[in-house]
């Protein structure tokens, strides 16, 4: 039986992963499930799947978790360190579906113990790709992409000569506001931004889809994970979210990955890799779909895409600055302290102030440096927000 852990088990990707594990329960031994505030879900899944340990990120919730696990054999633990320790418990395959930079240290722990890291947590790759990739290499561990676009690229590259790739196209639904008049975006509410036209995802990535910060992270993720140059990475708006990515080759061929907007496909591919196995996802009826459409994104509507290019060109620790500024701006939007459009303004300003010192190509990327840069970028984002408020 394969030993499996799921980090971020209570979230959208985590629950989709558990759905797949539940269907082939007899193949797996669940080591650790981790979550945050959703103690009831964490405990219920840990008991059902007979996990060795359940961990919440929040120490003040340890008593609640213990109470919810009472009478079972599941161990309880809490706090950031406890999550890192759980990630370090020997396993064959670990899903990293924690949201945000909080996923970085647990992801590194998974690689240090030599397990396969199924990586949904794109933020860790954007902030610290060289560190993750080097840790994987040094420990003979593997990272498998779970972001649907990157899973699509990964699948399109099977058996191909990487040097024959000329470009990659990542598709984007365009998010909640793709058809809104530009001038109305400043008035977008949290509720409006939290509704995705096609995908059912956690709130943070859903809002990032509306602003396209999610696509910006994915461009950087594609550059870092696959080693494409910034010029090779294109984004197209594809409202149907059916073609997840396309890889273009020297001879002009485009290999597309086509499937329903269901994360269980990408998760299942990583879980069964290198085999393909039956998955409980819809079989597309292309005749019923009839038409698929694509268009070039308007950079005035989605400044995040331009910022992604800036980050890719700068390299070094710019990704850590960008991600932290984005996370903090999103915190402020969700907290009702800034408007939707202000997120763009804050991230751009933090990049301009913090990135130049971090972008040298030869900057050493250690965990301490990444965490420090992340911390400073968050403070800077708060400063910019206050300055903006004072000006209004
Ligand atoms: P959710 O918000 O739905 O879930 C996040 C998970 O992380 C939950 O288990 C949450 O716990 C836990 N968590 C929150 N804060 C912390 C913390 N500080 N420390 C440890 N755990 C924490 O997110 P998604 O599932 O939507 O996304 C997860 C990751 O996958 C993100 O990086 C996202 O970009 C990526 N991704 C998601 C896709 C999707 O379809 N949702 C698609 C592709 C990539 P709790 O809920 O109990 O508080």
How many Å lie between the centroid of ligand 1 and the Cα of residue 12? 7
The confidence band for 219, taking pLDDT boundaries of 50, 70 and 90, is: very high
Question: Quick check: 338 and 385 in contact, CB under 8 A?
Answer: yes
Q: Which residues line ligand 1 (CB under 6 A)?
A: 8-14, 35-38, 57, 83, 97-99, 102, 120-123, 147, 199, 201-202, 204-205, 263
Does 100 map to a domain?
yes
| pLDDT over 90 (residue 391) | no
Atom of ligand 1 nearest to the CA of 217: 34
140: in domain: yes
User: Is the model's pLDDT at 360 over the cut of 90?
Assistant: no
Distance CA 100, CA 123 (A): 5
Asked if residue 229 and residue 165 are part of one domain, the reply reads yes
Domain closes at, from 299, 331, 357: 299
pTM score, whole prediction: 0.97
What is the pLDDT averaged over residues 207-236? 98
What is the residue-averaged pLDDT of the chain? 96
Same domain, 197 and 319: no
* Final residue in a domain of this structure, among 145, 179, 196: 145
CATH number at residue 140: 3.40.50.720
How much is the average pLDDT of 312-317?
93
Residues 54 and 135 in one domain: yes
- With respect to residue 304, please indicate whether it lies within any of the assigned structural domains: no
Asked whether residue 309 is domain-assigned, the answer is no
The pLDDT of residue 380:
97
Q: Quick check: is 308 in a domain?
A: no
**pLDDT higher than threshold 80 for residue 358:** no
Q: Is there a single domain that holds both residue 251 and residue 278? A: yes
User: Left, alpha or beta for 32 (phi > 0: left; psi -120 to 50: alpha)?
Assistant: beta
160: CA distance to ligand 1 center in Å?
Answer: 32
Output the pLDDT for position 359.
63
Pair 44, 108 in one domain = yes
Q: What pLDDT is recorded for position 5? A: 98
Average pLDDT over residues 157-185: 95
Q: What is the pLDDT of residue 13?
A: 98
pLDDT at 195 (0 to 100): 93
Same domain, 245 and 329: no
CA angle 128, 195, 45 (to 5 degrees): 65
pLDDT at 199: 85
> Is residue 270 scored above 90 in pLDDT?
yes
What is the number of domains present in the chain? 3
Q: How far apart are CA 115 and CA 27, in angstroms?
A: 17
Percent of the chain with pLDDT over 70: 98
Residue 252 domain flag: yes
Give the model's pLDDT for residue 362: 60
Give the pLDDT of residue 229: 97
Query: Which of 33, 205, 323 has most ligand 1 atoms within 8 Å of its beta carbon, as the pocket-test mutant?
Result: 205
The set of residues, in sequence order, having a beta carbon less than 8 Å from that of 154 and lying 6+ positions away, is: 144, 145
Count of CA atoms in the C-beta half-sphere (13 A) of 60: 1
The residue written with tokens 């498998």 in the block is 144
Mean per-residue pLDDT, 319-333: 98
Ligand 1 mutation target, pool 40, 97, 198, most atoms within 8 A of CB: 97
Mean pLDDT of 350-363: 76
- Are 41 and 99 in a shared domain? yes
Please indicate, yes or no, if residue 32 is contained in any of the structural domains: yes
pLDDT at 361: 61
Verify that 152 and 294 share a domain, yes or no: yes
- Tens digit of pLDDT for each residue in 187-203? 999 999 999 888 889 99
Statement: residue 302 has pLDDT above 90 = yes
CA–centroid distance, residue 375 to ligand 1 (Å)? 20
Same domain for 189 and 271?
yes
CATH number at residue 320: 1.10.1740.10
Cα 122 to averaged position of ligand 1 atoms, centre (Å): 10
Q: Does 292 fall in a domain?
A: yes
For ligand 1, atom 45, the nearest C-alpha belongs to 36
pLDDT in tens, 86-120: 999 999 999 999 999 999 999 999 999 999 999 99
| Higher-pLDDT residue of 132, 200 | 132
Rounded average pLDDT over 295-322: 96
Residue 234 reports pLDDT greater than 90: yes
Domain that holds residue 247: 148-299
The stretch 44-68 carries a mean pLDDT of 98
One domain for residues 355 and 221: no
Among the three residues 145, 164, 179, which one is the final residue of a domain in this structure? Answer: 145
Q: How many whole angstroms from 200 Cα to the centroid of ligand 1?
A: 12
Q: Are residues 155 and 252 in the same domain?
A: yes
**Cα torsion through 144, 147, 149, 153, rounded to 10:** 0
175 and 234 inside one domain:
yes
Is the confidence at residue 2, as pLDDT, over 90?
Answer: yes
Q: What is the pLDDT of residue 202?
A: 95
């Amino acid at each position: 039986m394969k030993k499996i852990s799921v980090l971020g088990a209570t979230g959208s990707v985590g629950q989709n992963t558990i759905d797949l594990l539940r269907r082939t329960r007899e193949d797996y031994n669940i080591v650790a499930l981790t979550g945050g505030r959703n103690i009831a879900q964490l405990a219920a899944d840990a008991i059902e799947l007979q996990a060795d340990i359940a961990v919440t990120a929040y120490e003040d919730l340890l008593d609640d978790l213990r109470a919810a696990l009472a009478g079972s054999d599941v161990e309880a633990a809490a706090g950031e360190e406890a999550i890192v320790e759980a990630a370090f418990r020997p396993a064959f395959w670990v899903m990293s579906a924690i949201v945000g930079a909080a996923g970085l240290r647990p992801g590194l722990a998974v690689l240090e113990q030599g397990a396969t890291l199924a990586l949904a947590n794109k933020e860790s790759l954007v902030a610290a790709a060289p560190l993750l990739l080097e840790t994987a290499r040094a420990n003979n561990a593997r990272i498998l992409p779970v972001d649907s676009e990157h899973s699509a690229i990964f699948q399109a590259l099977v058996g191909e000569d990487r040097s024959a790739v000329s470009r990659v196209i990542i598709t984007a639904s365009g998010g909640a506001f793709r058809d809104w008049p530009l001038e109305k975006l400043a008035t977008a509410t949290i509720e409006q931004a939290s509704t995705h036209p096609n995908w059912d995802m956690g709130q943070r990535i859903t809002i990032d889809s509306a602003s396209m910060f999610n696509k910006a992270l994915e461009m950087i993720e594609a550059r870092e994970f696959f080693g494409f140059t910034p010029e090779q990475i294109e984004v197209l708006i594809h409202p149907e979210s059916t073609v997840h990515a396309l890889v273009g080759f020297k001879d002009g061929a485009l290999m597309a990955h086509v499937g329903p907007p269901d994360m269980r496909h990408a998760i299942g591919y990583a879980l069964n890799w290198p085999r393909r196995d039956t998955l409980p996802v819809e079989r597309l009826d292309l005749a019923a779909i009839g038409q698929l459409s694509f268009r070039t994104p308007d950079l005035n509507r989605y400044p995040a895409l331009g910022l992604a290019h800036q980050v890719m060109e700068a390299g070094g620790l710019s990704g850590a600055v960008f991600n932290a500024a984005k996370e903090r701006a999103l915190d402020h939007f969700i907290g009702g302290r800034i408007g939707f459009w202000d997120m763009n303004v804050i991230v751009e300003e933090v990049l301009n102030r913090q990135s130049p010192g971090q972008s040298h190509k030869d900057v050493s990327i250690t965990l301490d440096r990444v965490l420090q840069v992340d911390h400073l970028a968050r403070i800077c984002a708060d400063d910019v927000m206050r300055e903006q408020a004072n000006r209004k």
